[in-house]
């Protein structure tokens, strides 16, 4: 009888385990080979890792979900895997780039659970972006299920730090309308400190030591699923969390009811050695498609908006005439008429007001309350958007009187019920040729491409909080320096900015003092991307701000053919370039407490004479003509809480 040594037996077992791991591990790499995802089954669970330029950017992270009809988080076995390629070019007229070429390699990795039911993990990997989702087949006679929760996780190396905005506690805040994605940010903090009870909203930004950056988000959420968010950091990992039960006044499921075969939304991971891929990513739109055709050729542009500074008392016929005249004087396309218009102006006089606006070549957006039963928001028009019959009756009138768009407010939550309401409003509005802005709302998740008449969401601490909060005024530049890297990197952001009053109220003499410069405000008109921009100008600005500022705003586009990261660091400063046709606009803001001198590289403007809007040492606005060096270099000094714009627009 021959005896096998213990050492030999251990070595044999380790070799066997390695071979089994090699058999079920699959790697999918980006077209340039720098980014790869490794997927495998280990200890009867599915996990993945992310590497960029041979550096581990995301460690062994869990995958899996639990449905009413099957658990795919443990005790699963590898079935098979297949690979493929995607190469497409598409056009989109209201995101950061108008023509996008998307190339990716794909991996579909299939496992089965103890009951023999299968599920696939589908990955798409482009040069800087990973998108993945779960694909559920029919299970015998089971043609529908409820997805109850996900195990999906993101495990970062211990050297990583986080830039995150917390999810608001449900049914709190104004009229119990939270969560509305209107929290501040923690920046560059240790992962262990990010333990907010209700988690963190998408997108979330992470710095992986000196290796690079990762932006997490999701896209492709429509009426057949719920929105999700990041959990707090626990046991070394962030996980995908579904809405808390308390949202929407406790009504509706926290999971998703889907038909089979069915898919989840896409989880997205943008990876870069620098911040350039983070700012320039188009992954929210690359993996989705339009859900219907536009009923008309929607026109984007700028508008005036009395409510932001003149507030509720401005909701009268005479004040709205002043704002129509302001829009006409500024060559703006729109006026937004906000809450209470139905009570304080009335439907009959509103029809006359719209006719007056049209006589001035100005079109109208009207505000609506989304609420009927979800919260306590009381502003009117109320109970017009929450049911199909009321909504269609109202939209028929809107089309008849020539309204071009809606701003619908006060949603508060990410449940599937609420996602259905978003989609129903958009679809019905398209039937009547109406564009839609959402306010008091969730993050748009690929909606610019999915819904042709969607033209922006707030989902940020926007301009209204500058009016209401001293803390937000003090942090205005800080937040502005974050948005190009986080919130505005993944979706249009309806901020309602460019406030040129010295004091943020109607009298403009005392009270809520604006702490940023005029040039900062002009810069945010470029920095913040949204195809329809409702600016916070007031009629007095026609005579109390320099004429060159008004001329700049008259010419400023709201749609862009190209967006390029120039320089910056989230929370400190940000500089980016946007192109409309042959016109370039380079905008920057400084969030730090001292002036910052930047040597910026502008190859698109080599040797050209350009206009420079900036602040002098007393933080007063200036306009100069400067020449960019033949090597594309230009030096600019940015004042604290100041900004600048460089443009070749004439």
- The per-residue DSSP string of 123-174 comes to EEE-SSEEEEEEEE--BTTB-EEEEEEE--EEB--TTEEEEEEBPPPTT-SG
Question: Cα(15)–Cα(11) distance, rounded to whole angstroms?
Answer: 6
Q: What average pLDDT does range 483-504 have in this prediction?
A: 98
DSSP alpha helices (H): ranges in 432-533?
447-450, 463-468, 470-474, 476-482, 487-490, 518-527
Q: Using a pLDDT cut of 90, give the percent of the chain over it.
A: 96
Helices and strands (H and E) in the chain: how many: 17, 36
Asked if the model's pLDDT at residue 404 lies above 90, the reply is yes
Task: Judge whether 459 and 428 are in contact, CB under 8 Å.
Answer: no
Which residues are paired to 229 by β-bridges? 241
Which residues are paired to 56 by β-bridges? 51
What's the confidence (pLDDT) of residue 480? 98
Q: What average pLDDT does range 394-422 have in this prediction?
A: 97
Q: What average pLDDT does range 328-357 have in this prediction?
A: 98
What's the confidence (pLDDT) of residue 4? 47
Look at the alpha carbons of 478, 215, 192, 172 in this order and tell me if their dihedral is positive or negative.
positive
What's the confidence (pLDDT) of residue 67? 98
Q: Which of 249-253, 273-277, 479-483, 526-530 has the lowest mean pLDDT?
A: 249-253
Q: How do residues 214-250 score in pLDDT, each as one tens digit?
A: 999 999 999 999 999 999 999 999 999 999 999 999 9
What's the confidence (pLDDT) of residue 61? 98
Q: What average pLDDT does range 184-189 have in this prediction?
A: 98
Q: How confident is the model at residue 453 (pLDDT cuts 50, 70, 90)?
A: very high
Task: Judge whether 429 and 435 are in contact, CB under 8 Å.
Answer: yes
Strand 185-190, strand 204-208: pairing: unpaired
More confident site: 650 or 476 = 476
What's the confidence (pLDDT) of residue 17? 36
């Amino acid at each position: 009888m021959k005896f096998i040594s213990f050492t030999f037996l251990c070595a044999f077992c380790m070799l066997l385990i390695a071979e089994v791991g090699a058999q079920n591990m699959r790697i999918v790499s980006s077209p340039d080979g720098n980014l790869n995802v490794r997927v495998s089954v280990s200890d009867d669970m599915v996990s993945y890792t992310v590497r960029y330029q041979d550096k581990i950017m995301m460690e062994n992270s869990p995958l899996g979900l639990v449905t009413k009809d099957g658990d795919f988080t443990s005790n699963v076995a590898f079935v098979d895997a297949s690979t493929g390629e995607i190469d497409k070019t598409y056009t989109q007229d209201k995101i950061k780039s108008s023509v996008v070429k998307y190339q990716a390699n794909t991996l579909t990795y299939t496992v089965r659970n103890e009951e023999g039911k299968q599920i696939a993990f589908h990955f798409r990997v482009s040069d800087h972006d990973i998108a993945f989702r779960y694909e559920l087949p029919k299970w015998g006679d089971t043609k529908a299920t409820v997805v109850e929760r996900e195990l999906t996780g993101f495990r970062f190396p211990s050297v990583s730090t986080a830039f995150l905005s917390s999810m608001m506690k449900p049914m709190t805040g104004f009229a119990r309308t939270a969560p509305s994605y209107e929290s501040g940010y923690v920046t560059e903090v240790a992962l262990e400190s990010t333990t907010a009870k209700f988690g963190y909203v998408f997108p979330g930004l992470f710095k992986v030591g000196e290796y690079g950056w990762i932006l997490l988000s999701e896209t492709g959420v429509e009426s057949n699923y719920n929105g999700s968010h990041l959990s707090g950091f626990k046991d070394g990992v962030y996980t995908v969390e579904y809405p808390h039960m308390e949202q929407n006044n406790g009504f509706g499921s926290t999971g998703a009811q889907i038909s089979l075969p069915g898919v989840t939304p896409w989880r997205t991971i943008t990876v870069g050695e620098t911040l350039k891929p983070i700012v320039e990513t188009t992954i929210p739109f690359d993996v989705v498609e339009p859900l219907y055709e536009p009923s008309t050729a929607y026109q984007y542009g700028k508008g005036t908006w009395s409510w932001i500074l003149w507030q509720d008392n401005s909701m009268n016929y005479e004040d709205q005439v002043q704002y129509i005249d302001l829009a006409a004087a500024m060559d703006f396309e729109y006026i937004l008429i906000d809450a209470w218009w139905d009570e304080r102006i009335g439907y009959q006089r509103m029809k006359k007001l719209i006719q007056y606006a049209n006589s001035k070549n100005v079109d109208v957006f009207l505000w609506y309350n989304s609420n009927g039963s979800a919260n306590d928001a009381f502003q009117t028009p109320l109970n017009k958007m929450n049911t199909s019959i009321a909504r269609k009756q109202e939209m028929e009138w809107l089309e008849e009187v020539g309204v071009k768009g809606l701003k619908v407010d006060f949603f508060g939550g990410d449940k599937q019920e609420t996602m259905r309401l978003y989609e129903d409003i958009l679809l019905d509005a398209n039937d009547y040729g109406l564009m839609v802005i959402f306010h008091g709302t969730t993050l748009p998740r690929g909606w610019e491409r999915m819904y042709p008449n969607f033209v922006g969401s707030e989902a940020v601490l926007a301009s209204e909080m500058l009016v209401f909060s001293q803390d937000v005024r003090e942090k205005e530049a800080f937040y502005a320096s974050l948005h190009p890297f986080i919130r505005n990197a993944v979706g249009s952001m309806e901020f309602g900015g460019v406030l040129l009053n010295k004091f943020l109220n109607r009298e403009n003499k005392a009270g809520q003092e604006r702490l940023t410069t005029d040039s900062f405000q002009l810069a945010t008109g470029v920095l913040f991307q949204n195809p329809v921009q409702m600016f916070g100008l007031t009629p007095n600005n026609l005579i109390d701000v320099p004429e060159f500022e008004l001329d700049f705003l008259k010419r400023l586009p709201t749609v862009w053919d190209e967006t390029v990261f120039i320089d910056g660091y989230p929370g400190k400063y940000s500089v980016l370039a946007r192109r409309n046709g042959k016109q370039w606009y380079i905008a920057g803001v400084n969030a730090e407490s001292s002036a910052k001198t930047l040597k910026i590289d502008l190859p698109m403007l080599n040797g050209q004479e350009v206009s420079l809007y900036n602040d002098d040492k007393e933080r007063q606005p200036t306009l100069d003509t400067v020449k960019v060096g033949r090597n594309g270099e230009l030096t600019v000094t940015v004042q604290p809480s100041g900004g600048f714009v460089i443009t070749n627009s004439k």
